[in-house]
Amino acid sequence: MKLRVLIVDDEPLARERIRALLRDAPDAEVVGECGDGRRALAAIRRRRPDLLFLDVQMPELDGFAVLRALDPTELPAVIFVTAYDRYALRAFEVHALDYLLKPFDRERFHRALARARTQIERDRRGTLDARLLALLEDLRPGRKRLERLVVKEGGRVFFLRAEEIDWVEAQGNYARLHIGRETHLVRETMARLEAGLDPKQFARIHRSTIVNLERVRELLPDFHGDSVVVLRDATRLTLSRGYRERFRELLGSTL
């Protein structure tokens, strides 16, 4: 079955680059190109593509606005394309959606395309991709951040303010909240917690760790390529290489 593809980017050279790479995929059929969000909306509704290569930064109507304007039944699979957008990249990672960071190479492009094929096959079997809808919910104007958590332990119910959390540790489908000398286990994934917590106060520093930036005292190098985050209470946490740059930006150039 043919994979119907629509390319949306305000840069003609970027559209041509994607079109050229798609020539390596015999099952892909480019059904249109658009240089702005408004034309993209019309093309999506008219041509019903299976896959959308969507630029994030476009004048007037950006990529996120395009998706918000669509009904959930109209949403194709999406591979985001961006030159640089810290918040966008964080959102993609939280919801495990794929994106291409310009400039991207052939190998990275085809990995994204392969993941999209898998998603499209799932959708064709009637399974709605909730991750894309969750991303749009996160980007909805006026969305409230998580201010408190409800913890049930030993027949008691605790109400914890998010700002009290020192750091969070993944434990399967649960998360352990570290608050001073106390710990509390909640049935939440790290992805959902990261999406709900204020990104100006909390940062993912490892696939299994979220830290409250207000509790960070020191950043130390490690001989194995990672770094060590030292909290005010002397707790030492691993900062993996994949999260290092964003963590430094959040804390400031003094680190």
Is 204 in the same domain as 122?
A: no
Helix, strand or coil, per DSSP, at residue 26: coil
| Final residue of a structural domain among 139, 173, 207 | 139
Is 12 in the same domain as 124?
A: yes
Q: What average pLDDT does this structure show over 80-98?
A: 63
pLDDT band, residue 140 (cuts 50/70/90): low
pLDDT band, residue 96 (cuts 50/70/90): very low
Distance CA 124, CA 126 (A): 5
Model confidence, pTM = 0.53
Is 39 in the same domain as 133?
A: yes
Note the pLDDT tens digit of each residue in 26-46: 999 999 999 999 999 999 999
- Write down the pLDDT at residue 136: 64
Higher-pLDDT residue of 171 and 141 is: 171
- Write down the pLDDT at residue 198: 85
pLDDT of residue 87 exceeding 60: no
pLDDT of residue 92 exceeding 70: no
pLDDT band, residue 250 (cuts 50/70/90): confident
pLDDT band, residue 15 (cuts 50/70/90): very high
CATH code of the domain in which 195 resides: 2.40.50.1020
CB atoms under 10 Å from CB of 145, counted, come to 13
DSSP state of 74: G
Is 209 in the same domain as 174?
A: yes
Is 15 in the same domain as 134?
A: yes
The number of folded domains in the chain is 2
CB crowding 56-90: b at 16 or more within 10 Å, else e: bbbeebbbbebbeebeeeebbbbbbbbeebeebbb
pLDDT of residue 1 exceeding 80: no
| Final residue of a structural domain among 118, 139, 160 | 139
| Final residue of a structural domain among 139, 166, 200 | 139
pLDDT of residue 75 exceeding 70: yes
Q: What is the mean pLDDT of the chain?
A: 82
Helix, strand or coil, per DSSP, at residue 116: helix
Q: What average pLDDT does this structure show over 155-184?
A: 89
- Write down the pLDDT at residue 97: 60
pLDDT band, residue 86 (cuts 50/70/90): low
CATH code of the domain in which 116 resides: 3.40.50.2300
CB atoms under 10 Å from CB of 44, counted, come to 23
Q: What average pLDDT does this structure show over 132-143?
A: 61
Residues 6 or more apart whose Cβ sits within 8 Å of residue 174: 185, 186, 187, 188
Is 133 in the same domain as 215?
A: no
Is 46 in the same domain as 160?
A: no
42-46, 164-168, 188-192, 228-232: segment of lowest average pLDDT: 188-192
Is 55 in the same domain as 169?
A: no
Is 161 in the same domain as 205?
A: yes
In which domain, by residue range, is 180 found? 148-251
- What percentage of the chain reaches a pLDDT higher than 70? 83
Is 120 in the same domain as 26?
A: yes
Is 129 in the same domain as 236?
A: no
Higher-pLDDT residue of 168 and 130 is: 168
Is 190 in the same domain as 106?
A: no
